Amino acid sequence: MNEQESHSSNPLEQLLQLLGTLDPIDMAGKAVDLTRKTSESLLLVLENFASTVDNLNKTTSRINTLLDEVEEPLRRIMPQVGNAMNAMASMGEVASQLGDLTKRLGPLTTLAENAGGLFGFRPNKSSTAT
């Protein structure tokens, strides 16, 4: 029965024994330490955020300065670039029209050579033999 006496069956006594093992000063110290660590972590996060915002502001001002320097010359150049692109497209059209013209003139060239042969003209042939 010694074992039964050391472990009381009264729930109120068991609750008081459990409360007796708790140290309120130790718990308060742990709570204060946890609060301090949380506050330090929060402060570190806020400092990092402020640093990030500062870096973003510096980057934004640098980009704005760069755009201020580049924007006006680009506005002046872009019409000329557009004109150059249009000119290149026009030159391509002219080249294709010339190619089409040579295809169409092929039979006429052959006819002219044959007609010249009737009158005694011979086409120039480059002779490599000397």
DSSP 64-113: HHHHHHHHHHHHHHHHHHHHHHHHHHHHHHHHHHHHHHHHHHHHHHHHHH
pLDDT digits (tens, 9 = 90+) for 96-127: 888 888 888 888 888 888 877 777 666 666 54
Task: Tell me how far CA of residue 103 lies from CA of 92, 109, 113, in angstroms.
Answer: 17, 10, 16
| Helix, strand, coil content of the chain in percent (nearest 5) | 85, 0, 15
- pTM (whole model) above 0.75: no
Cα angle for residues 123, 126, 130 (degrees, 5° grid)? 135
